[in-house]
């Protein structure tokens, strides 16, 4: 049986690399905003107890989404970095979530997440002492660059993975890890790194390559293709 859990969705970024005039989570993708796709998928996973969405203070778009009226969605303020946004959302769960409750953090900008991948993640980690994340093995040969843009080294790819989201950890441990990283100014870019800082070894659960983070302009086109392919295969 898969455990119950809380969703946390950092959606307070401005998406500067997209070069658009509105944050990337609100760009139109197959007829609706990216964030609407993402939330539809998250809310379709059985077992969630609540969803905390971290939004920028000057967000003018959220109220226009159908999910804004959903009783299970709790809104909070984002922070300067992604980790600050997640931490703010965890603080909102103070008094609602118990120390050992599972929390799944998913980027607002990943609209192609498959519900079945989340269910596999939940099932695989239900009894895990640490938690873990969806990830995909690196396929290309990897190069480390020097300051001149020349190859300094070829990095063996056998043990390398791309870290995706959702990332799944216990409420108390994740909060402690992110508070500690924030105090140390450690600038972690995902939840797993915060857990690793404290000595935890998150498990890698293989997901699908189509769980992309919309980051650059061409990614919207790719996301559209993936959504279409998923609907054709009934994913
Ligand atoms: O910028 P990046 O692509 O790494 O952002 C990943 C996710 O984190 C996005 O969904 C973005 O909205 C969110 N984010 C946030 N608060 C920030 C920066 C990013 O919630 N300060």
Centre of ligand 1 to C-alpha 152, Å, is: 30
pLDDT the model gives residue 1: 74
Tokens of 114: 């498959």
Q: What is d(CA 187, CA 166) in angstroms, rounded to the nearest whole number?
A: 19
Centre of ligand 1 to C-alpha 153, Å, is: 30
Q: Is 81 in the pocket of ligand 1 (CB under 6 A)?
A: yes
Q: How far is CA 168 from CA 134, 185, 205, 229, in A?
A: 9, 23, 11, 27
Q: Is 11 in the pocket of ligand 1 (CB under 6 A)?
A: yes
Among protein residues, the one whose CA lies closest to atom 5 of ligand 1:
13
pLDDT tens column, 182-228: 999 998 999 999 999 999 999 999 999 999 999 998 999 999 999 99
Give yes or no for residue 235 having a pLDDT over 80: no
pLDDT the model gives residue 15: 79
Q: Where are the domains of the chain?
A: 5-233
Q: Provide the percentage of residues in the chain whose pLDDT is more than 90.
A: 93
φ/ψ of residue 65, rounded to 5:
-90, 145
Residue 23 CA, closest ligand 1 atom number: 12
18: confidence class by pLDDT, cuts 50, 70, 90: confident
Question: What count of Cα atoms within 13 Å lies in the side-chain half-sphere of residue 6?
Answer: 26
pTM of the model: 0.97
Q: What is d(CA 205, CA 192) in angstroms, rounded to the nearest whole number?
A: 13
Among protein residues, the one whose CA lies closest to atom 6 of ligand 1:
107
Ligand 1, from 8, 12, 167, 178: best to mutate by most atoms within 8 Å of Cβ?
12
CATH code for the domain defined by 5-233: 3.90.550.10
Tokens of 142: 């990897």
Q: Is 205 in the pocket of ligand 1 (CB under 6 A)?
A: no
Q: How far is CA 45 from CA 51, 117, 156, in A?
A: 12, 10, 36
């Amino acid at each position: 049986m898969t455990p119950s859990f809380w969703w946390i969705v950092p959606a307070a970024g401005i998406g500067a690399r997209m070069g658009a005039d509105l944050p990337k989570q609100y760009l139109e993708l197959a007829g609706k905003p990216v964030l609407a796709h993402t939330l539809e998928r998250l809310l379709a996973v059985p077992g969630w107890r609540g969803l905390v969405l971290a939004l920028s203070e000057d967000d003018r778009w959220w109220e226009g989404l159908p999910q804004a009226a959903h009783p299970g969605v709790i809104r909070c303020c984002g922070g300067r970095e992604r980790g600050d946004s997640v931490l703010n959302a965890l603080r909102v769960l103070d008094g609602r979530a118990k120390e050992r409750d599972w929390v799944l953090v998913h980027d607002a900008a990943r609209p192609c997440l498959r519900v079945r991948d989340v269910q596999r993640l939940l099932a695989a980690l239900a009894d895990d002492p640490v938690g873990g994340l969806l990830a995909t093995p690196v396929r290309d040969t990897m190069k480390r660059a020097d300051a001149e843009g020349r190859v300094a080294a070829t990095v063996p790819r056998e043990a390398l993975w791309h870290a995706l989201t959702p990332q799944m950890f216990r409420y108390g441990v994740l909060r402690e890890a992110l508070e500690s990283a924030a105090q140390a100014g450690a600038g972690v870019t995902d939840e797993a790194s915060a857990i690793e800082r404290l000595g935890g070894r998150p498990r890698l659960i293989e997901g699908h390559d189509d769980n992309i983070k919309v980051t650059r302009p061409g990614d919207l086109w790719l996301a559209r293709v993936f959504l279409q392919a998923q609907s054709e295969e009934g994913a």
